[in-house]
Amino acid sequence: MNKALTLFGSALFLAAASSVFATDTLNVKGVITPASCIANLSSNGVVDHGKVSAKDLNQTAITLLPDATLQLAVNCEAPTPFALKVVDNRATSATNPGLNFGLGLINDVEKIGGFSITLRNPFADGAATTSLQSLDDGHTWENASGLALPPLRLAAFGDQSSGAWAPIEIQDLNVDLRVRTGIAPAQNLTLTDDVAIDGNATLEVHYR
């Protein structure tokens, strides 16, 4: 993560003939950043399920649409410890808040469904590595292989070389994002007109 560096200059004193002193403080501020990283998703980050017929939806249970896989590449200027976080831009429509990502609303109240993201087949600088997740904002890490990544949870990639699971420095990361989409039971949805599946999330790269 970016860390701000603040240097407080010593007070400057100017003596006048009347022996009255004026003081002021010099603040020198800035941000020192690690090597920058760029993230890229295949297919411009779009999963398009096309047209889904309302008559094919399960009336009483979730209808799973075909899984999709996108490739995520994170490329840094130099080996860098970083973590990923996915922010749900449709959080108010999530069917399982904090667990999956929302797909939008019908009539501002009916939740269309949700989607999940799983990080699979991660490679760090050409070598297979392990997906990690943190439940305490990066203080400790655990093996998350095969587990879905909930909104706002930190994910990273690493090993146990330090004695505990921890992120490693990576210059070039390649990992698959499996996206699994589910539509809510049709009996709870108003489907008299076309309904747009409107999932939207932002993937963030956080420097340690």
Q: Tell me the CATH number at 153.
A: 2.60.40.1090
Q: Is residue 31 one of the residues assigned to a domain?
A: no
Q: Is residue 183 one of the residues assigned to a domain?
A: yes
Q: Is residue 16 one of the residues assigned to a domain?
A: no
Q: Residue 63: its pLDDT value, please?
A: 96
Q: Residue 23: its pLDDT value, please?
A: 62
CA 108-114-117 angle, 5° bins:
145
Q: Residue 10: its pLDDT value, please?
A: 34
Rounded CA separation 149/177 (Å): 10
In which domain, by residue range, is 41 found? 36-207
Q: Residue 123: its pLDDT value, please?
A: 98
Q: Residue 31: its pLDDT value, please?
A: 59
Q: How many domains does the chain have?
A: 1
Question: What would the two tokens of residue 94 be?
Answer: 């999530």
Q: Is residue 63 one of the residues assigned to a domain?
A: yes
Q: Is residue 5 one of the residues assigned to a domain?
A: no
Q: How many other CB atoms sit within 10 Å of the CB of residue 83?
A: 23
The reported pTM is 0.82
Q: Residue 74: its pLDDT value, please?
A: 95
Task: Compute the radius of gyration of the chain from its Cα atoms.
Answer: 24
Q: Residue 30: its pLDDT value, please?
A: 60
Question: Could you list the pLDDT tens digit for every one of the 208 residues in the chain?
Answer: 332 332 333 344 444 454 555 666 677 766 566 678 999 999 999 999 999 999 999 999 999 999 999 999 999 999 999 999 999 999 999 999 999 999 999 999 999 999 999 999 999 999 999 999 999 999 999 999 999 999 999 999 999 999 999 999 999 999 999 999 999 999 999 999 999 999 999 999 998 6
Q: Residue 36: its pLDDT value, please?
A: 86
Residue 117: which region, alpha, beta or left (left: phi > 0; alpha: psi -120 to 50)? beta
Q: Is residue 179 one of the residues assigned to a domain?
A: yes
Rounded CA separation 165/146 (Å): 16
